[in-house]
A and B are shown apart, each in its own frame.
Chain A
């Protein structure tokens, strides 16, 4: 589920990059897009989030509070991971795997394996072929290589199995030239070598590998495939840009002609991929010919675009919590003050979520109130609140508390407590609260984020004398499957 989350949030960013790319491809340095793709790739592959008040999700959240009937899906994404298990990825992973393997997980895994296998097999098969390449005995290439030393070992070989020059290997790179290369055309050779050396120096083989990893993990997301195609193209475009910069702008048409020549040879051999690569090569040629010297304005624009897009589309809303570094232990909160933390989510949304668990839940009636007071319920604005741990245990649940430090600048010394309720091998990550310097900074019930600044309602967590209280209504709806409560 974590993956679906990451996929969805990265999709927004990818969409933004695709639009920016369409609008500004030939106007700003190509490296801009590589940086943007790298940000998107980080979002896809690393399960962490950075918060920013400029995040697009802040806007979404604002709209959501204003129009509570508007059920946007974006904030619904975050409850998923918190709601299913005690949300520490490390600790719950094994549990989730053994306890609730959902059909979605199975489907994802099958897709992932198929993708990974496909890329792996194709890669290995080609690699075995590349390995059989023969050395090149060419005076010009030897001299050129001597005058362009590299930190990593680079070999230049030739093969009769490929149609266009290529480079493979991350740490020990090999440049392969097709056998049909015109060895006497020194200018062409030089262009090709410069191009491949830029690839090597930039570790583009590694970038491509990471892109493949992104596609494998998010195989179900068409936008990630779009990103895969476009990012691969942008690697070439950016490389061309670097070559033209080394050669000087006057050489750009000559370089473009070399590329066209190579492409002609390639398409003669593999006619099937013609259509697709034609589009890409056209883009390359146009982009080379349109290349201008980078002015201050384009550089500033590039920096602004990267900073802006990253800030707006790659961050979470400020109120979200980061869930990295996990320090798990069993502990119980020890607060001194009573704080209420009401929910900002609409109650329709919440009951809709819970209905699946206990369809028979009924609201706490006036008549039942005295019974609750007898049970020792806490009176919060007239609504009965029950002690979380004791009540849950009475209802047949095992209660696990997981705490972790989630220090952040806004809430220093913050500890997050996750109450995980387990029954019949099923895990319900039901309540979570952050305690910052003895005060509740934020709390969560059944995945619904509660904001301390909001008005008190009956869907909040209350702390009193080391005990966590939750609304009786909530127990009835989410946990009381046997209708034990009045």
Chain B
């Protein structure tokens, strides 16, 4: 399932990924605090997410449930980036990240673990 989300929609998804199922009212409260959206604005964005199939809702209280996972979204966005900037070669992306980002010994250890798991 490929669902392309805009920044505003990701903002809503972020909350759901962090907090789990949340009522629309609560999301509106959080976002009012965080980004200054009005209640209607938040509801508009939630409705868009529902229409796209990224959020499922159940009653009572209009509880929102994340249908797409953070991993799925990350995969989609990253694939897009790889295709656009690295000719579809994932190793080039990793290489370029390792090239400009200085990693801590701990992070390097973690990466080594991931690689050895793959082998």
Contact = CB atoms under 8 A, between A and B. Distances in A.
B86 interface: no
Contacts of B7: 134, 158-160, 179
Contacts of A160: 6-8
A161 B10 CA distance: 13
Interface in A119-135: 128, 131-135
A467 B8 CA distance: 76
Contact of B44 (A128, A133, A158, A161): A128
Interface in B46-103: none
Nearest to A132: B8
B36 to A, nearest CB: 7
A191 B76 CA distance: 35
Contacts, number: 29
Nearest to A135: B35
B11 A134 contact: yes
Interface string B20-55: 000000000000000111101100110000000000
Contact of B45 (A132, A135, A158): A132
A58 B40 CA distance: 57
A161 B44 CA distance: 15
B6 A135 contact: no
Contacts of A159: 7-8
Interface residues of A, number: 12
Interface of B is mostly: helix
Interface residues of B, number: 12
Given A159-B7, A160-B6, A161-B6, A132 B36 contact: no
Interface string A130-144: 011111000000000
Contacts of B38: 131
A135 B44 contact: no
Nearest to A160: B7
Nearest to B8: A132
Contacts of B40: 131
B41 A135 contact: no
Contact of A131 (B6, B11, B41): B41
Contacts of A133: 8
Nearest to A155: B36
Nearest to B38: A131
Contacts of B41: 128, 131-132
Nearest to B11: A134
A363 B35 CA distance: 82
Nearest to A161: B6
A156 to B, nearest CB: 12
Nearest to B42: A132
Contacts of B37: 131-132
Contacts of B11: 134
A159 B45 CA distance: 13
A134 B35 CA distance: 6
21 contacts: A128-B41, A128-B44, A131-B37, A131-B44, A132-B8, A132-B37, A132-B41, A133-B8, A134-B7, A134-B11, A134-B35, A135-B35, A135-B36, A155-B36, A159-B7, A159-B8, A160-B6, A160-B7, A160-B8, A161-B6, A179-B7
Interface of A: 128, 131-135, 155, 158-161, 179
The 9 closest A-B pairs by CB, nearest first: A132-B8, A131-B41, A160-B7, A135-B35, A134-B35, A132-B45, A160-B6, A128-B44, A134-B7
